[in-house]
Amino acid sequence: MTNRNKQLVTGNEAAVLGALAGGAEAMFGYPITPATEILQGWINKAQTDKSLHFLQTEDETSAGFAVCGALLNGTKAFTASAGPGHVLMQDPVSMAENIRLPFVGIMMQRGGPSTGTVNFSQQEVNLAAFGGNGDGLRIVYSASTVQEMYDLSIKIFNTAWKYMFPTFLLGDGYLGKMESEINLTKSVNPVHSKKLLREQKIPTHLKNCYSSEEELAEILKQNIYDWNKHKNVIAESDKYRTGDASEIIVAHGLVASAAKEAVDLMRKQNRKIGLFRAITVHPLDTTALSVLAKKVKKIHLIESSQNQFSRIVKYELYGETTEIVEHSKPAEGFSPSEIVDLVQD
Amino acid sequence: MPKSWYAESKPHYFCPGCGHGVTLKQLGYAIDDMNIQEDVVFGIDIGCSLLAWNFLACDTIQTHHGRTTPVMVGYKMTKPSKVALAYMGDGGGYAIGLQSLLHAAFRNNPVTVILVNNENYAMTGGQMAPTTELGVATTTSPNGKTIEFGPGFKGPETVRSIASKDAFIARASVSNPLLLRNILKEAMETQTEKNNFSFIEVLSICPTNWKTSAEDSLKRVKEMEKYYPVGKI
Amino acid sequence: MSKRNNQTYKLLLSGEGGQGIQTIAKALVATSIEQGLKASYLPSFGVEQRGTPSIAYVIISNENINYPRFDSADIIMALANRAVPRISKFVTPNTDVLFDSSVIRANTFSKIAVHKFGIPATSLSREKFNPKSYNVLMYGILIKMLDLNPDISWKSLKNQLKDKFKTKKIESENKDAFEYGIEAVLERKIFFKPTFETKATINYYKNREKKGIINPARCKGCGLCIEKCPAKALSFGSDLGVFATPVPIVDLNKCIACGMCHQICPDGAIFIEKINNKENK
């Protein structure tokens, strides 16, 4: 605790530290459990660091649009929300998706739909990846530990500003509240921000409404091209004990951490099982996963939602003949021993 | 035409006789008079105001419906040297965007909101709006607006009731373009010189959806001025 | 030229918002169904309320129609210059292009269409019928081309337009336009020269004390300047503006150079000032 490079923090506190380290300059948000501490933490930091901007807005939609406003002049702005607030965010995120604003959001998933619970789920994958009225040109990371709440909160800013797509970090209510000691020694090379309203002699006129199908189609074609061009570089995953595995668990977020422990338990029983953990849920690291899929006999998809993640995985693995078994527990977590039981035949 | 108008986009997309053209001309001259063309960031709503997306020779951002105010609040907060204008219609400002308008006033955010009021949702074909007066027929009030939908909504008065005393709030009309220009200037100076919130409602005409001639359009806006008084609020 | 014989017709009607394209499209569909055929209709607009290209896809067939759009048309009707670029991709060597030759120059189609048929509909309407009835005239021509029954077709159109026929006079003017269209002989080689085009050059005015400009390429003919002028110095002239509607002219003798026309003009189309007065912006 006296080591300056280590700190005992909650996941939400780690997110604030990560955002700061990642170059964040402004946060706009609205209180909502279990993300409220991120807004509070940021505002506390802003009391002593006057270069930081903040505003608690009148609702999540305004928060998201205020983020868009700040992004337009090149400010690294972000928001944090959850559940129903995440739903409201789709209005501003859709605008960001159309005009390529590097919108950054940290979404602490809770039970849904509707008010649901304030506690935990993995049910906001669809929202983050495919929400709004577009085709899902967003980048979504999923944190599985408090350390990752810090590391990935740094990364999302660079990813957003490098590739100019809305970028999200999915956490959840357990991660947000649990405490863990984290390493703060990540070195960051912040990507330069750019002004989208360019402030040049020739004015920049940005619109997101088009008169004809063809006009919009041209814009989308370019956006889709860019997304596809970079998706393999952006996609990230982690393989745990998969070298000799005859079956794997595929999971993300905190569920993957429980699965990691389950893998260790099963390995003690000499079961040849490993874990493929998606760090990016969208784009999924299909390259790595399909190599693994060809090697193993069975894939166990485990998530705290009704197949939101599994739908992505199955889409990406289309053509592979490996048996896939889905274990869905929407709005409820999995303990490691529970996973062991589920995975037993 | 004003220097701050973007010549390449003329003739512009607004209908013949549209009050947006009159308002934007006076706004253009106000910007010229204050010499702030390079500092202005022009936010517009959906609705007919979206047709101004390339109207001014200033950086412009078209936002979602009712969301122009928070976009400009976020922009201005992080780049205070710019002059943030949020331009919208009566639908975007008093229906879907009323919450954000009120809160920007409540927080005294130093943005300038310009709301063009033609008493209907014009872009979508003339539906009833909060500012539609009682008895007026629209496509969603075919027999005339009745009291259960509220009388004509008095925006500046409402905003005044919760705004900071230093905020500048006024109503102008396209029937008096020079007064409109002065009010616009005073509003923008409230932002540039005093760092306070400013809000201007402009009573405007919509010959297309009102189905009126030039003469009748001007007569109607004069009638509107009896219910919606012009001047500082 | 009429080629109906158990054939499916794909018609593309195009013009500008405000020209009544959708009205006649809907009437075509209604009357086709009335006359025992199957028909479908789909409008396509730009965003603006006025001046936006207005397009209607109409399919008339003996067979069931599943999808309302198509890539190439059998008949195209064009009523505005700004609509021509939009329709060019629907033209095939067999497409008949019908156009208002008093508004669109025939040679606009030279690289686009093989079969073009002109009719000076706007000019005829102003001269003989009701100035706004040119779309009804075109409807008459289309009914003839499709070999549909004129009486039933007129009834369908009348039903469509009943709110607009405010007086018996207006109704009979439109009926005359329709009947003219049924009997019309279309221009095939020699075409009317357009008289309803936006004037390309600015009108300058000057006398000893005042000078000014009125720019038809900006003027939309709204009439606000005329209403606001305290000296009644402005009135509609004969030059045409952006939407081929009349542009004002100024009588400098009556004009007092107050600047009100300029302040009220939404389009920046008029500006009159006193000479040598540097303060007048």
Note whether C270 contacts B: Cβ–Cβ < 8 A.
Answer: no
What is the average pLDDT across C254-262? 95
Note whether C267 contacts B: Cβ–Cβ < 8 A.
Answer: yes
Band (C2; pLDDT cuts 50, 70, 90): very low
C212-240 pLDDT, tens digit each: 999 999 999 999 999 999 999 999 998 99
Question: What DSSP line would sit under A8-72, residue for residue?
Answer: EEEHHHHHHHHHHHTT--EEEE---TTTHHHHHHHHHHHHH-TT-EEEE-SSHHHHHHHHHHHHH
Largest CA distance in chain A: 70
In a domain, B173, yes or no: yes
Domains and CATH numbers, chain C: 9-183 (3.40.920.10), 203-274 (3.30.70.20)
Q: Is pLDDT of C136 > 80?
A: yes
What does the alpha-carbon distance between residue B108 and residue B169 come to, in Å, rounded to a whole number? 12
Q: How many CB atoms lie within 10 A of CB C232?
A: 11
What is the average pLDDT across C178-189? 93
- A201 burial level (CB within 10 Å; 0-12, 13-18, 19+): exposed
In a domain, B1, yes or no: no
Note whether C162 contacts B: Cβ–Cβ < 8 A.
Answer: no
Q: Is pLDDT of A1 > 90?
A: no
Contact: B59, A28; criterion CB under 8 Å: no
What is the average pLDDT across B60-69? 97
| Residue-level pLDDT at A3 | 60
Most A CBs within 10 A among B58, B78, B99, hence the mutation to make, goes to: B78
| Mean model confidence pLDDT for chain C | 90
Give the one of B15, B29, B215 whose C-beta lies nearest to C50's C-beta: B15
Contact: C226, B214; criterion CB under 8 Å: yes
pTM for the whole thing? 0.93
CATH 3.40.50.2000 corresponds to the domain A6-234 = no
Token couple for A50: 């006057």
Contacts of A91 (CB under 8 A, 6+ apart): A61, A64, A65, A132, B64, B67
What does the alpha-carbon distance between residue A167 and residue A60 come to, in Å, rounded to a whole number? 17
| Residue-level pLDDT at C34 | 93
Most B CBs within 10 A among C222, C236, C261, hence the mutation to make, goes to: C222
Q: Are the folds of A6-234 and A237-343 the same?
A: yes
Contact: A212, C52; criterion CB under 8 Å: no
Q: Which residues of chain C are within 8 Å of residue A209 when distances are taken between CB atoms?
A: 47
Band (C3; pLDDT cuts 50, 70, 90): very low
Nearest CA to C2 out of C154, C133, C101, C117 is that of C117
Q: Is pLDDT of C280 > 50?
A: no
Tell me how far the alpha carbon of residue B174 is from its chain's centroid: 11
The residue segments making up the domain with residue B62 are: 7-232
| Residue-level pLDDT at B21 | 97
Give the one of C218, C223, C242 whose C-beta lies nearest to B213's C-beta: C223
Could you please state the CATH topology (level 3) that the domain comprising A237-343 is classified under.
Rossmann fold (3.40.50)
Angle, alpha carbons B62-B63-B69 (nearest 5°): 115
What is the average pLDDT across C243-261? 94
Contact: C268, B13; criterion CB under 8 Å: no
In a domain, B2, yes or no: no
CATH of the domain at B104: 3.40.50.970
The residue count of chain C comes to 281
Listed in sequence order, the DSSP H helices in A116-212 are 125-130, 146-163, 173-177
Note whether C223 contacts A: Cβ–Cβ < 8 A.
Answer: no
Most A CBs within 10 A among C47, C49, C55, hence the mutation to make, goes to: C47
8 A C-beta contact, residue A274 and residue A267: no
* Residue type, position A171, single letter: G
Nearest CA to A16 out of A187, A171, A193 is that of A171
Contact: B71, A57; criterion CB under 8 Å: no
- With contact defined as 3+ CB pairs under 8 Å, the chains touching C are A, B
Give the one of B13, B24, B177 whose C-beta lies nearest to C48's C-beta: B13
A139-173 pLDDT, tens digit each: 999 999 999 999 999 999 999 999 999 999 999 99
What is the average pLDDT across A240-255? 97
In a domain, B154, yes or no: yes
Contact: B21, C265; criterion CB under 8 Å: yes
Most B CBs within 10 A among C243, C263, C280, hence the mutation to make, goes to: C263
What does the alpha-carbon distance between residue B22 and residue B7 come to, in Å, rounded to a whole number? 16
B134-186 pLDDT, tens digit each: 999 999 999 999 999 999 999 999 999 999 999 999 999 999 999 999 999 99
Quote the minimal CA–CA distance from B171 to chain C in Å: 17
Quote the minimal CA–CA distance from B26 to chain C in Å: 7
Band (C52; pLDDT cuts 50, 70, 90): confident
Listed in sequence order, the DSSP H helices in A113-212 are 125-130, 146-163, 173-177
More confident residue, A245 or C131: A245
| Residue-level pLDDT at B178 | 95
Contact: C265, B25; criterion CB under 8 Å: yes
Taking CA atoms, C35 is separated from B214, B220, C9, C147, in Å, by 43, 45, 15, 11
| Residue-level pLDDT at C6 | 66
Contact: C49, B122; criterion CB under 8 Å: yes
φ, ψ dihedrals at C161, nearest 5°: -100, 15
Q: In chain B, how many domains are there?
A: 1
What is the average pLDDT across A30-42? 97
Contact: B51, C47; criterion CB under 8 Å: yes
Contact: B214, C245; criterion CB under 8 Å: no
Taking CA atoms, A283 is separated from A223, A312, C260, in Å, by 14, 9, 60
In a domain, B168, yes or no: yes
| Residue-level pLDDT at C50 | 74
Find the closest chain C residue to B24 by CA distance.
C266
Q: Is pLDDT of B74 > 80?
A: yes
What does the alpha-carbon distance between residue C219 and residue C63 come to, in Å, rounded to a whole number? 47
Band (C281; pLDDT cuts 50, 70, 90): very low
Going from N- to C-terminal start, the domains of chain A cover 6-234, 237-343
Quote the minimal CA–CA distance from C45 to chain A in Å: 8
Contact: C224, B214; criterion CB under 8 Å: yes
What is the average pLDDT across A64-78? 98
